[in-house]
Amino acid sequence: MALSIFFPSVTGMNAQSEAMGTVSDNIANMRTTGYKSADTMFQTLLGSQPATRNNASGLASSRADIMGVSSYTRYNILDMGVISSTGNPYDVALNEQNAFFMIDDGYDGLYYSRAGDFSTRVENGMTYLVNSSGYYVQGFQANGDGTFASEPSDISLQFGEKMPSVPTSEVEITANVPADGVDSSTYGVTIYGPNNDGKTMNMVFTKAEGLLNTWNVNFVLDGGEVAGGPIEVQFSPNGELLSPKTFNIIANWDDGSSNNITMNIENMTQYAGSAGEVYVSQDGDKSGELVSSYIDGDGILKAKYSNDKTVDVAKLAVVSFQSPENLVPVTGTMFEAYSDAGEINYLLDAEKNTTQLVVPQSLEASNVDVEQEFVEMIQVQRAYSLNSSAFTVANEMTSVAVDLKT
């Protein structure tokens, strides 16, 4: 009796062992962020002699011997897990099946992952955004002018603990200068210097002696002096401003700093009555202390300051593949991409944005169906038992044959 009768049951037990390993791995990772479950697939093993056909008759001239079973693992890469809020400012989930973060191991090894449980790590004085394995999250660093670098790199958290004040460079004021009843009128404007968070600058309109509808404008600055005045301002008899519409002054602060300011008064009038409602706008802003940093819904890492201003730090690099199911899994919920994964496409890059792709302060759970895994476990155990029974029977048959010969 041929010893090959053992082979099908042996390969069956080996394949079911692999299947049990897959089930165990799935259950072990049921709470692993971004984990993609796997299935064990089975395929028939054929003998060395292939099936051929007679070219004339079309009939089979020989038969392939079935020699057992083999197994391979298929990963459910495109099946999404449930996305849940975490509140962690660096956690981020991807709300699309074919979307992956780019991860670098620091040795030119590039990986792709669905796990967005990111954190920070300080290295050589620099703070980097890293994944749970300590690998560097890839993205496009902000250039500081509203744009981002054209090539992805390790995301570093480059922002100051304090945002300096923005010196005022333009002021626009709308108000009425009373045409009669007063010899002077004052309008307060808050302006900012390079080293302060806002001081009051009073514009004082004083009637020019001997001139109709003409005023001299001087400035009184808290914490400094204003150069460039007085300014002679003229109105028409019907109260409309004639000149100047705009003029320049210099705020010289007591700390030695200064800033040039363009004053726009084209909307000022000279009518009878009070000064009326005064409207002032200016482009300066106060300084701010760093409050927090976080990843927003556009995949942009931002720094937020106490003055309610934010600064773009970097944008996450998110990619898709032509054939994502061909990505090769490696350790730690990460994948490698080879040629059979097809062309890579950026969903988020220096210029491209994808609406509702990123879910901030959230994570994608594993896509493991625990109930299904337990069903699979029972099936695998039964299949293994049947294969072991087949092996036992084959062994008994062999023993009988050996006894006959003796």
Which tens digits make up the pLDDT trace of 128-173?
A: 999 999 999 999 999 989 999 999 999 999 998 999 999 999 999 9
The pLDDT value recorded for residue 46 is 66
What number of other Cβ atoms are within 10 A of residue 108's Cβ?
A: 6
Which tens digits make up the pLDDT trace of 332-372?
A: 799 999 999 999 999 999 888 888 999 999 999 999 999 99
Query: Which CATH architecture describes the domain 170-282?
Result: Sandwich (2.60)
Query: Average pLDDT of the chain?
Result: 90
pLDDT band at 61; cut points 50, 70, 90? very low
The pLDDT value recorded for residue 177 is 95
Residue 65 predicted with pLDDT over 80: no
* Backbone phi and psi for residue 326, each to the nearest 5 degrees, phi listed first: -95, 5
The pLDDT value recorded for residue 66 is 60
Place of tokens 């009184």: 220
The pLDDT value recorded for residue 291 is 96
Q: Domain map of the chain by residue range? A: 3-78+367-405, 84-159+315-364, 170-282
Comparison of pLDDT for 174 and 5, the residue scoring more: 174
* Backbone phi and psi for residue 151, each to the nearest 5 degrees, phi listed first: -120, 140
The pLDDT value recorded for residue 101 is 98
If you ran DSSP here, which 8-state letter would residue 53 be given?
B
Which tens digits make up the pLDDT trace of 198-207?
A: 999 999 999 9
Most trustworthy range by pLDDT among 40-44, 274-278, 304-308, 380-384: 304-308
The pLDDT value recorded for residue 374 is 92
CA-CA distance, 270 to 211, in Å (whole number)? 14
Cβ-contact 224, 167 below 8 angstroms = no
What is the DSSP track for 90-130? TBEEE-SSS-EEEEE-SSS-EEEES--B-EEEEETTEEEEE
CA-CA distance, 62 to 72, in Å (whole number)? 28
Least-confidence region, from 90-104, 349-363, 380-394: 380-394
Nearest to 129 by CA among 148, 116, 111, 142: 116
The pLDDT value recorded for residue 212 is 93
Mean of the pLDDT values across residues 13-30?
92
